[in-house]
Amino acid sequence: MWLFKQTVGLFRPYWGRLLIVLLLSALGGAFATVPPILLGKLVDQVLPLQLTDMIGWLVAAVFFAFLGKVLFESLQEFVQVKIGLDIITDMQLLAFRKLHRAPMSMFATTSRGDILFRLTHDVEAIQNLNSTVIPRFLQQLLGAIAAFVAVIAIFWPAAVVMVVVFAIYLGPSFLLGRKVRKLSAVQRDMLADMYAHLQESIESFRLVRSFVTEDREYETQAKKAEAWRKFAINAALISKVNWRLGNMMQIITPGVVMLVGGYAVWNGELSVGSLVACIGFIPAMFMPIRSLAENALMIQQAIPALYRIYEYFDLPEEQAEGLPAVGEVRGDLTMENIWFTYPGTEEPVLRGVSLSMAAGQHIGIVGASGGGKSTLIQLLLGLYTADQGQVAVDGKDLNTHDRNSFRQQVGVVSQETFLLNSTLRQNLLYSRPDATQEQLDAAVEASGLTELIDGLEEGYETIVGERGLKLSGGQRQRVALARAILRRPPVLIFDEATSSLDGETEERVQGALEQLMPGRTTITIAHRLVTVRDADEILVLDHGVVAERGTHEELLKLQGHYYRLYMAQYSELEKEGVV
Ligand SMILES: Nc1ncnc2c1ncn2[C@@H]1O[C@H](COP(=O)(O)OP(=O)(O)OP(=O)(O)O)[C@@H](O)[C@H]1O
């Protein structure tokens, strides 16, 4: 029912064109009934009465009837294939859109391979069905209905016989179909799982090579492939049995009709020509059933594929539609008594954290690894929703405002920088596509990338990313920094922004960051305490709670967590001449 409702929803915008399709199919079906009727006339009247000059007319009429059938059916197929392609595109785009609106937890709990499989292979399975089977099935169905009506009109007992034979066939065929559908659903999930492993294995080829786990990877893939093969063979076998059953019925039916019809002819209740016409209608009546049986596997595979795509239509959205925007952000940020547990886990990662920053302030967040620093930022950005507590921007609750309107005004430089497989220019302009060349050059200069770009033959137009120039960790971070600089946002977040830079570059980049900070609310997460020494306030996050807070001097005086962290790093800093 759910499947039906979703499908009807997709077809709704095309109802006008669907009506045309139905009309064209009906016309095609009507033309298809003409030849058997004319055949009956030939047997009953033309041949016995030797109306030789009628034969030419009959042949011409049969020819035109076929021509009409082909013409209307071709038109119907064309319109229907077009609707099909429109719907498939709508479906793919809707799933894609939903995916990008889904909560972050969706990406944490679903493998990328599975997502890709749904949006490519599952769509393709439906596409295969859509472009061939469905348009023809509709023609065949309407042709069968037309034939059935004609048989009732000519000799209704033959129609009853046909219905009985169909009914006998439909029972086992339905059961077999259900079995194939179940097998196909499991098979589809298996295929997606195989695909996910394949993708992960290729993406982690460095890991595989360095730990020499090629054989283990192969074994995993082979096991998945073997399990899938077994299911696929079973599904194919059952589907073939179903098809043969259909074939058998097509042989039995004319026999039974001849028997019943022959008896009626014997009794003078039916003419020979009418019997010939009835038998002539049998192939058309069987067409849709044969077609269903022949394409059972393709159909049964498309149904789970449809389910898998429709599941994305029902994904929960990160936030409700139509929430008011936060407007131009000044930069007062508050987080009040935030509690948060990652979906699917038990232990809270944040336990009653509060944070308050006036516009333009600089806050540092430090603490042991796993203490919840990055999680706090994700909540501030509204990427996750707190179980308890409130996040507010300029006094506006983020739960009741459009989070995107806030995120658009935040520059984030984090530990990981994602690069598009595109030119350096496009990567840099990702945060602000309309920036001028001067603004771009200035951001590149401030983030210490000028040297790199000047040294490249194609400069800004050099392709980077997966199939282009590979950038080092430090260079990637500088690209992220340049993106943030270009955006000139009122709120800046640096999550270990300088962690993969060497000492000298770090100093330069740090300088650039500091130039960027005045007037902007800034949060810096850092392991190296020297990075946050000048912050207005420093929070020490430990096991999800704020263990200490204050300025650098205040925290040193406390002689607690911060002091111990500082002392542990002190000798290092001394070596580097920072203290
Ligand atoms: N998507 C997730 N699902 C479940 N648990 C997670 C997820 N992301 C992080 N965690 C857990 O939440 C805790 C806090 O992680 P978080 O990344 O916020 O720490 P952090 O202080 O930023 O650490 P680091 O300094 O190493 O970056 C960790 O115990 C981590 O295992």
Residues 6+ apart with CB under 8 A from 85: 127, 130, 131
Q: Please check the confidence at residue 175 and state whether its pLDDT lies above 90.
A: no
> Do the domains 411-488 and 326-409+492-499+520-579 match in fold?
yes
Q: What is the spatial distance between Cα 308 and Cα 314, in angstroms, rounded to a whole number? A: 11
CA of 372 to the centre of ligand 1 (A): 6
Ligand 1 atom 31 nearest Cα: 370
CA of 523 to the centre of ligand 1 (A): 18
Q: Is the CATH code 3.40.50.300 the one for domain 411-488?
A: yes
573 or 454, which is more confident: 454
- Tokens 């229907």 locate to 80
Classify 2-313 by CATH class: mainly alpha
Complex-level ipTM: 0.96
Ligand 1 atom 17 nearest Cα: 374
Alpha helices in 314-455 (DSSP H): 373-380, 403-407, 424-428, 437-446, 450-454
Ligand 1 atom 7 nearest Cα: 342
Question: Which of 145, 91, 84, 148 shows the shortest CA–CA distance to 118?
Answer: 91
For the chain, the domains span: 2-313, 326-409+492-499+520-579, 411-488
Residue of 374, 540, 565 with the most ligand 1 atoms within 8 Å of its CB, for mutation: 374
Count how many Cα atoms sit within 13 Å of the Cα of residue 491 in the half-sphere of its side chain: 24
410 or 173, which is more confident: 410
Q: What is the mean pLDDT of residues 31-45?
A: 86
Helix (H, G, I), strand (E, B) or coil at 45: helix
Ligand 1 surroundings by CB, under 6 angstroms: 108, 342, 345, 349, 367, 369-375
Q: What is the spatial distance between Cα 329 and Cα 398, in angstroms, rounded to a whole number? A: 12
Q: What's the whole-model pTM score?
A: 0.71
Q: Please check the confidence at residue 358 and state whether its pLDDT lies above 90.
A: yes
Write the DSSP assignment of 346-380 as a string of letters.
SS-SEEEEEEEE-TT-EEEEE-STTSSHHHHHHHH
| φ, ψ at 463 (rounded to 5°) | -80, 130
Q: Which fold has domain 326-409+492-499+520-579?
A: Rossmann fold (3.40.50)
Q: Per-residue pLDDT tens for 474-488?
A: 788 888 888 888 888
Q: Please check the confidence at residue 573 and state whether its pLDDT lies above 70.
A: no
Q: What is the mean pLDDT of the chain?
A: 86
Write the DSSP assignment of 472-511 as a string of letters.
PHHHHHHHHHHHHHHH--SEEEEESTTTTS-HHHHHHHHH
Q: What is the pLDDT of residue 468?
A: 62
Q: What is the mean pLDDT of residues 553-557?
A: 91
Q: What percent of the chain has pLDDT over 70?
A: 97
Burial 143-162 (b: 16+ CB within 10 A, else e): bbbbbbebbeebbebbbebb
Q: Please check the confidence at residue 579 and state whether its pLDDT lies above 60.
A: no
CA of 94 to the centre of ligand 1 (A): 31
**DSSP character for 470?**
P
Q: What is the pLDDT of residue 320?
A: 76
In terms of average pLDDT, the best of 125-134, 354-363, 448-457 is: 354-363
Q: Please check the confidence at residue 416 and state whether its pLDDT lies above 80.
A: no
Residue of 375, 380, 384 with the most ligand 1 atoms within 8 Å of its CB, for mutation: 375
